[in-house]
A and B are shown apart, each in its own frame.
Chain A
Amino acid sequence: MAIQIKIPDWREREDSIEKVIEHHPDVPIFTILKTDLHRRGYVLSAAARAKIDVNIHHTNGIHLTGESDSTTVEGLVLRDGTLVCNGCVSDDEVVLRDPYLIDVDENDRIVITDQGRIYEEAEFWRKPDYYDKVTSKGTPMWKVANVRGKRIDSELNKYCEFWDTPGDGCKYCGIGVYGVQEKKCGHQLRVDPDDLAETLQEALKQKGRFLQFNATQGSLLGGAKLLDDELELCLDSLVRIKKLFSRFPLKASLVTTALDGQQLERLRDEGGIGIYTANIEVLNKELFQWICPGKARHIGYDGWKGRLEEAVSIFGKGNVYTDIIGGLELATPHGFKTEDEALESVLKEADLLSQKGIQVVDFVWRVYQNTIFKNQVSPSLDYYVRLSQGISALHDAYGLNNYSRDYARSGNQPSGDLDRIRRRSELGKIG
Chain B
Amino acid sequence: MAKLDEKLIALIGSKNTILTLSTVDAKGEVSSTVLPEAGVDEEGRLVLYEQLETSQATRDLTYALWFGKKVALTLLSEIGESFVIKGIPYRDIIVGPAFEEKYRELTAADPESELAGIWIVDPTDIYEDTLTVRRRLEREQFPELGHLDKDFIG
- A residues sitting closer than 8 Å to B (CB atoms) are 26, 28-30, 77, 79-81, 123, 125-126, 149-150, 206-209, 403, 408, 420-423, 425, 427
Does A208 contact B103, Cβ atoms closer than 8 Å?
A: yes
Query: Is the beta-carbon distance between B104 and A81 smaller than 8 angstroms?
Result: no
| Given A28-B67, A209-B100, A80:B91 Cβ within 8 A | yes
Q: Is the CB of A81 within 8 A of B92?
A: yes
Binding site for A on B (CB under 8 A): 25-26, 53-55, 59-60, 62-63, 65-67, 90-97, 99-100, 102-104, 107, 115, 117
Cross-chain contact A126 with B95 (CB below 8 angstroms): yes
Please state if A79 and B95 are interface contacts (CB–CB under 8 Å): no
Which 3 residue pairs are nearest across A and B when measured between Cβ atoms?
A: A208-B103, A28-B66, A425-B54
Q: Which A-chain residue is minimally distant from B25 (CB atoms)?
A: A421
The answer to whether A81 and B103 touch (CB under 8 A), given A420-B62, A421-B63, is: no
Query: Closest Cβ of chain A: how far from B65's Cβ, in Å?
Result: 5
B97 partner residues in chain A, CB cutoff 8 A: 126
Is B95 touching A150 in the complex (CB atoms < 8 A)?
Answer: yes
Contact B92 A79 (CB under 8 A): yes
Best-buried of B26, B94, B107, B115 by chain A (most CB within 10 Å): B94
Q: Other than the known A208-B115, A427-B54, what 17 A-B pairs have Cβ atoms closer than 8 Å?
A: A26-B26, A28-B66, A79-B90, A80-B66, A80-B91, A80-B92, A81-B92, A81-B93, A150-B95, A207-B100, A207-B103, A207-B104, A208-B99, A209-B95, A420-B62, A425-B54, A425-B55
Chain A residue with Cβ nearest B54: A425
Across the interface, B94 reaches (CB within 8 A) one of A26, A150, A207, namely A150
Bound complex: CA A352 to CA B59 (Å): 27
Cα distance, A30 to B91, chains bound together (Å): 12
Residue of A nearest to B65 (CB): A80
Q: A81–B59 contact, CB under 8 A?
A: no
B104 in complex: contacting residue of A26, A123, A208, A420, CB < 8 Å? A208
Q: Which residues of A contact B102 (CB under 8 A)?
A: 208
A75 shortest CB reach to chain B, Å: 11
Alpha-carbon separation in the docked complex, A164 to B60 (Å) = 50
Chain B residues with Cβ below 8 Å from A26 are: 26
| B contact residues around A208 at 8 Å (CB) | 99-100, 102-104, 107, 115
* Among A29, A126, A403, A425, contact of B96 (Cβ-Cβ < 8 Å): A126
Query: Which residue of chain A has its CB nearest to the CB of B117?
Result: A81
For B25, the chain A residues whose CB sits under 8 A away are: 421
Q: How far is the CA of A81 from the CA of B60 in the complex (A)?
A: 14
| B89: nearest chain-A partner, CB-CB | A80
Given known A-B contacts A207-B100, A208-B104, A209-B100, A423 and B59 have beta carbons under 8 A apart: yes
A78 smallest CB distance to B (angstroms)? 9
In the assembled complex, the Cα of A77 lies from the Cα of B91 at a distance in Å of 11
Can you identify 17 A-B contacts, CB atoms within 8 angstroms? A28-B66, A30-B66, A77-B94, A80-B66, A80-B92, A81-B92, A81-B95, A123-B96, A126-B97, A149-B95, A206-B100, A208-B100, A208-B104, A420-B59, A421-B26, A421-B62, A421-B66
Residues in B neighbouring A427, C-beta threshold 8 A: 54
| Measured CA separation A422–B62 after assembly (Å) | 11
CA distance A207 to B105 in the complex (A): 10
Residue in A closest to B60 when the chains form the complex, CB atoms: A421
Determine the distance from Cα of A80 to Cα of B63 in the docked complex, in whole angstroms.
Answer: 10
Minimal Cβ-Cβ distance residue in B for A420: B62
What separation, in Å, do the CA atoms of A264 and B122 have in the docked complex? 48
CB distance from A50 to the nearest CB of B (A): 20
Q: Look across to chain A and name the residue whose beta carbon is closest to the beta carbon of B97.
A: A126
Q: Which residues of chain B are within 8 angstroms of A425 by Cβ–Cβ distance?
A: 54-55
CB closest residue in chain B, given A125:
B95
Assembly CA distance A29 to B54 (angstroms): 23
A126 proximity list for chain B (CB < 8 A) = 95-97
Q: Which residue of A lies closest to B116 (CB)?
A: A408
CB <8 Å contact, A80 and B95: no
Min C-beta distance of A57 to chain B, whole Å: 11
For A80, list chain B residues within 8 Å (CB).
Answer: 62, 65-66, 91-92
Q: Are A77 and B95 in contact (CB under 8 A)?
A: yes
Which residue on chain A has the smallest CB distance to residue B90? A79
CB distance from A206 to the nearest CB of B (A): 7
Residue ID in chain B nearest A406 by CB atoms: B53
Residues in A with CB closer than 8 Å to B93 are: 81
Contact between B54 and A423 (Cβ–Cβ < 8 Å)?
yes
Q: How many angstroms from the CA of A80 to the CA of B25 in the assembled complex?
A: 16
Task: Give A421 to B62 CA distance when docked, in angstroms.
Answer: 7
A245 to B107, CA, bound (A): 18
